[in-house]
Amino acid sequence: MPQTVLEAIYRRRSIREFTDEDVALSDLREIVRAGIWAPSGLNNQPWRFVLVTDDETRKKLSETTHYSHIVLAARALIAVYLDTEAMYDEVKDHQAAGACIENMLLATEALGLGAVWLGQILKNKKEVNQILDLSSQYDLMAVLAIGYPLHRKQKSSRKGLDAFILKTFQEVPDVLQK
Ligand SMILES: Cc1cc2nc3c(=O)[nH]c(=O)nc-3n(C[C@H](O)[C@H](O)[C@H](O)COP(=O)(O)O)c2cc1C
């Protein structure tokens, strides 16, 4: 298990294959706790969560996404919502949701679990709300599929840093100014 935040960041991979081992509710609550400690504009904490571990609800949710096999394989799901009545700024509240979700993914890693952020399911957010018996006050941001990783062979890559850093402004050392 990673000891530091940087280790968790670099080790984390999207996990899409899981063992049959159940995920403890206490671990799911810890993952949510990490989520709610994300920053939010004005500290408005607009996020809300639904925890799912039962077979019937997972099966119903699996029918709302192209990634049904992942939803069925994961022993637990956490649906992450924005409460539209708690929101104050469209952009900033969505940014807060992203920060919350990333905290949750890193907590999952720290707990020895694996997860993948499912976004494709948002195409059917109305159906998801119906299944979870939630009104349109709650706007689905993502579903996290969580479980114990079947393996950790996932590979991922990133472009080099210089592809992203547009400019660096820095002091020029005196010796170079002559
Ligand atoms: C907004 C968002 C939506 C995503 N939606 C899906 C999805 O629907 N299905 C899926 O398998 N992975 C999904 N992912 C995971 C990405 O595919 C994954 O993070 C990316 O390929 C990089 O791999 P890594 O997470 O292992 O580094 C999503 C990630 C984000 C941030």
Residues in contact with ligand 1 by the CB-under-6-Å rule are 13-14, 16, 67, 116-120, 154, 156
Q: Tell me what pLDDT residue 2 has.
A: 61
Domains of the chain, each with CATH number or no CATH? 5-177 (3.40.109.10)
User: Considering Cα of 5, then 6, then 8, then 13, what sign does the dihedral take?
Assistant: positive
* Ligand 1 center from residue 115 Cα (angstroms): 10
Atom 12 of ligand 1 has which residue's CA nearest to it? 118
Per-block mean pLDDT, blocks of 10 residues, the chain (178 long) = 86 97 98 98 98 98 98 98 98 98 98 98 98 98 98 94 96 80
pTM of model > 0.85: yes
Phi-psi region of 111 (alpha: psi -120 to 50; beta: other; left: phi over 0): alpha
